[in-house]
Structure 1
Amino acid sequence: MAGNRDRFSTATRLRVLGAQTAARVYRSQTRRQDRRSRLTGRAAFLALVVCTLVVALAYPMRQYVSQRNEIADQERLTREAKQRVEELRDEKERLQDDAYIERLAREHLHYLKPGETGYTVIDPGAKKREREERGAEDRPWYSNVLEGVDNADRPDSPNR
């Protein structure tokens, strides 16, 4: 009976040892699941915080970028205006020079000095090209004006 009792105590011990091992494994799995669920909750909270920050900062960032673009445009316009002012100052200085004024008058107004002979060259094809560009027929200019006045009230008029 002593052998039976040893076997029983060994079997009992094994059973108790197996139960303890199973309990340890169960506790380990439970801890892992708790840790996972805690990490999942933390991750969800972190994701929520990040999304909130992105949404909260999106509009101000868009405004910032927009304002930076406007500033760059205004700076460009300022540079162009300064350049135009310099050009006008240079032109003003040139207009103080009598020789420059004389040259402009001769070029644009066809002025001549006493004793000079002026020539005007007429391009024979210029009148034809002008008519083609405007679509005018070979008739006096006032006919085209009167026709335009007559056709102005028509619904199918190209002038409308």
Structure 2
Amino acid sequence: MSRKTAPSSASRGLPRRAADAREWLGGIRFSGFTAIMLGLVVLGVAVLSPTVATYVEQRQKIAAMQESVQVTKDEIAALERERERWKDPAYITTQARERLYYVKPGEVRFLVIDDLEEAETPQDPKPVSSEVEEKSSDWTGSLLRSVVGAGTAETAMEITIGVPDDPAVTETPAR
């Protein structure tokens, strides 16, 4: 019994890998059992994929909630430390001095309004343009002229304010 061998890949002009793949695929037998097993694998993947997706989603939610619980525990611990500090009379005194500017009897507290560092102090700004300049004005003189002018006016108007479209609204000159 002599067996026929397939011509080599070099004689057919195919690369060696393609020939090896073809030989390997040619050796696979497709039977009914293989079809049933392949169908069961596909069915199993189709049935289990939603369950696996739900499992992964729930694990992510659990991890997020655990992180939230840890953050809350940290906040509670910080608040408890703050509460313990408020039980100390020296801390209360310090906070009253700093926040509310309380002083002990006989003490004098000075508030420094312009306490910027020298580097942070604004420098003299350059003029915006050569045409725009700041003009000094005598606002006290303007105020005095306005008050005197209003007080010495010959005619003044008395205005009674009421509901619109109301005949009670009158404008009568006062003398």
Normalised TM-score (structure 1): 0.50
Larger Rg computed on CA atoms: 1
Normalised TM-score (structure 2): 0.46
Structure holding more strand per residue: 2
